[in-house]
Amino acid sequence: MAFLFLDDSKHHRFGFSLAAFVICDTDPSENVSSIFRRYGYDPLSFEFKSSAKMKGDSNLQDLRVALKSFIARECKIGVCVVEGDKNIGPAGLKLLEQALTHPKLTACHHEVFFDEGLFSSVRAAEALIKNKVTLETCNFHFEQNSRYVLGIQLADIVAHTCGTMLLDALGTISKKIVINEPNDDVYHGTEVGLGFEMWASIRYAFLSRNKPKPNDDFELANVDVYPWGLFIDDSADEKIALAAKDRFGQMYLGCLH
């Protein structure tokens, strides 16, 4: 069994929205609650939002790092890209259909949670999955409140992270950050692009498979994310679709030194 949670990140100014699934082997609620408490937040009243202002709040920044570390260690992720926001829910279902063909997810039952507002209504969502043989192993929970479904808060982080990665691939952001990792003799104190930092922090988590016939050591260090962990809707602009395929279609897992 797996638990899957979908949330989105909208970028209307740049012509796309991106939604992300976080896939967990077990319900992550207790783990997320424990991380919240470690940083002094009450899971019964606190909700993590990537859109929250974090500048000058080192504790909230540290919480974000801890949650991303949990995702990188314990979860798998997949993303879908659409134009606007009316197609996010349906595109999420198509991504789910592709993800379920991955060996990790075949032949077992899954609990699937969608954030609020991704479909026009619960009835509309249920109509899309009716009689879908490819989704018959899933128990769906539509229009879920992320305040109470903590896995959706993890999906919020991934959607925001991957949305930033796609903006970087499109050349629309140029922000630099200085890596603060005292235990890293190579990169500590190095200035890198925000998109690179986002990618490096989450690249191992993408739902992927090894290339069937790698031609050299570089291909051996790359894994295929498409189709299991990436769906690009037909509504997406060609430039955005190409950038998304280039950024997420495969993932380099080799050494960065």
CA distances from 100 to 26, 108, 167, 197 (A): 16, 9, 28, 29
Residue 179 phi/psi, 5° resolution? Answer: -70, 125
d(CA 181, CA 49): 24
Residue 87: inside a domain: yes
Residue 170 per-residue DSSP state: T
Residue 169: inside a domain: yes
The whole-number pLDDT of residue 256 equals 67
Which residue numbers in the chain have pLDDT < 70? 176-191, 256-257
Residue 155: inside a domain: yes
d(CA 105, CA 110): 8
The whole-number pLDDT of residue 91 equals 98
Q: How many domains does the chain have?
A: 1
Place of tokens 């930033």: 164
Residue 47: inside a domain: yes
Tell if the pTM clears 0.85, that is, is over it.
yes
Q: What is the pLDDT of residues 70-84, one digit of tens each?
A: 999 999 999 999 998
What percentage of the chain reaches a pLDDT higher than 70? 92
Residue 85: inside a domain: yes
Residue 126: inside a domain: yes
Residue 257: inside a domain: no
d(CA 109, CA 249): 26
Residue 133: inside a domain: yes
CA-nearest of 203, 179, 190 to 252 is: 203
Q: What is the pLDDT of residues 189-207, one digit of tens each?
A: 666 778 888 888 899 999 9
Q: Which helix (H) or strand (E) holds 191?
A: strand 191-193
CATH number (domain holding residue 123)? 3.30.420.10
Q: Domain residues for 231? A: 2-252
